[in-house]
A = this chain, B = another copy of it.
Amino acid sequence: MPSHKPIRVALLGCGTVGTEVVRLLTDQAADLAARVGAPVELAGIAVRKPNKHREVPADLLTTDAAALVASDVDVVVEVIGGIEPARTLLLDALRAGKSAVTANKALLAEHTAELSAAADASGADLYFEASVAGAIPLLRPLRESLAGDRITRVMGIVNGTTNFILSGMDSTGASYGETLEEATRLGYAEADPTADVDGFDAASKAAILASLAFHTRVTAADVHREGIASVSAADIAAAKALGRIVKLLAICERVPVGGDGEGADAGATEGISVRVHPAMIPRSHPLAGVNGAFNAVFVEADAAGEMMFYGQGAGGAPTASAVLGDLVAVARNLVQGGRGPRESAYAGLPSRPMGQTPTRYHISLDVADRAGVLSQVAAVFAEHDVSIAAVRQEGRVDDASLVVVTHAATDAALRSTVDKIGGLPVVREVVSVMRVEGEET
- B301 pairs with A305, CB closer than 8 A: no
> Does A339 sit at the interface, judged by CB under 8 A?
yes
Number of A interface residues, CB 8 Å?
Answer: 58
- With A147-B35, A336-B339 already in contact, the answer to whether A137 and B325 are too (CB < 8 A) is no
- B301 pairs with A306, CB closer than 8 A: no
Residues in B with CB closer than 8 Å to A428 are none
> Does A324 sit at the interface, judged by CB under 8 A?
yes
> Which of A238-246, A313-321, A392-400, A404-412 contacts its partner?
A313-321
Interface residues of A in 71-86 (CB under 8 A from B): none
- B309 pairs with A309, CB closer than 8 A: yes
Which residue of B310, B317, B338 is within 8 Å of A308 (Cβ)?
B310
> Which of A26-34, A52-60, A224-232, A258-266 contacts its partner?
A26-34
Interface residues of A in 135-180 (CB under 8 A from B): 135-137, 140-141, 144-150
> Does A341 sit at the interface, judged by CB under 8 A?
yes
> Does A417 sit at the interface, judged by CB under 8 A?
no
- A135 pairs with B307, CB closer than 8 A: yes
Instruction: Tell me, in angstroms, the Cα distance from A175 to B360 when the chains sit together.
Output: 44
Residues in B with CB closer than 8 Å to A341 are 332
Instruction: Tell me, in angstroms, the Cα distance from A305 to B289 when the chains sit together.
Output: 18
> Does A24 sit at the interface, judged by CB under 8 A?
yes
- With A34-B215, A304-B312, A333-B338 already in contact, the answer to whether A140 and B145 are too (CB < 8 A) is yes
- B321 pairs with A301, CB closer than 8 A: yes
Which residue of B28, B140, B146 is within 8 Å of A144 (Cβ)?
B140
Instruction: Tell me, in angstroms, the Cα distance from A337 to B301 when the chains sit together.
Output: 28
Residues in B with CB closer than 8 Å to A308 are 308-311
- B304 pairs with A311, CB closer than 8 A: yes
Q: What are the interface flags for A325-353 relative to B under an 8 Å C-beta threshold, 1 for contact and 0 otherwise?
A: 11111001100111101001011000000
Q: Nearest chain-B residue to A299 (Cβ)?
A: B311
> Does A15 sit at the interface, judged by CB under 8 A?
no
Residue among A146, A147, A312 facing the most chain B CB atoms (10 A cut-off): A147
Which residue of B136, B305, B329, B344 is within 8 Å of A312 (Cβ)?
B305
Residues in B with CB closer than 8 Å to A31 are 150, 215, 347
- B329 pairs with A304, CB closer than 8 A: no
> Does A20 sit at the interface, judged by CB under 8 A?
yes
- B338 pairs with A324, CB closer than 8 A: no
Residues in B with CB closer than 8 Å to A321 are 146, 148-149, 301-304
CB distance from A290 to the nearest CB of B (A): 10
Additional A-B contacts beyond A137-B146, A148-B327, A304-B321 (13; CB < 8 A) = A24-B148, A28-B150, A34-B215, A137-B137, A137-B145, A140-B141, A147-B325, A149-B325, A302-B321, A303-B321, A305-B311, A337-B337, A338-B338
